[in-house]
């Protein structure tokens, strides 16, 4: 099993539908397939999982903020076109 090959296959799938959550899911799958052999590897893997959870949390926040900004922009555009 080549992680590089698996990762490239994942990246090449659904090119049009890729979002940050697609990348996060791919990383989660790669990390979940690792089997640590030492305590050091186990700690590093645990830290990587924790960091990925934080990335997912921040990505959700950013997505919500972008959605809110899109809504505000559309309201502003409606007001501008309504005034003209």
Q: How many angstroms separate the CA atoms of 61 and 55, rounded? A: 10
Enumerate the H helices of the chain as residue ranges: 3-12, 20-33, 39-83
Q: What is the pTM (predicted TM-score) of this model?
A: 0.68
Domain that holds residue 51: 3-83
Task: Encode pLDDT of 51-80 as tens digits.
Answer: 999 999 999 999 999 999 999 999 999 988
Task: Encode pLDDT of 19-50 as tens digits.
Answer: 889 999 999 999 999 999 999 999 999 999 99
Q: How many angstroms separate the CA atoms of 12 and 14, rounded? A: 7
3-state secondary structure of 19: coil
What domain count does the chain have?
1
């Amino acid at each position: 099993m080549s992680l590089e090959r698996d990762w490239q296959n994942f990246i090449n799938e659904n090119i049009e539908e890729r979002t940050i959550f697609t990348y996060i899911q791919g990383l989660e799958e790669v990390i979940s397939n690792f089997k640590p052999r030492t305590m050091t590897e186990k700690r590093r893997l645990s830290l990587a999982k924790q960091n990925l959870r934080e990335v997912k949390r921040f990505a959700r926040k950013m997505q919500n903020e972008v959605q809110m900004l899109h809504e505000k922009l559309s309201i502003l555009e409606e007001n501008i076109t309504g005034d003209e």
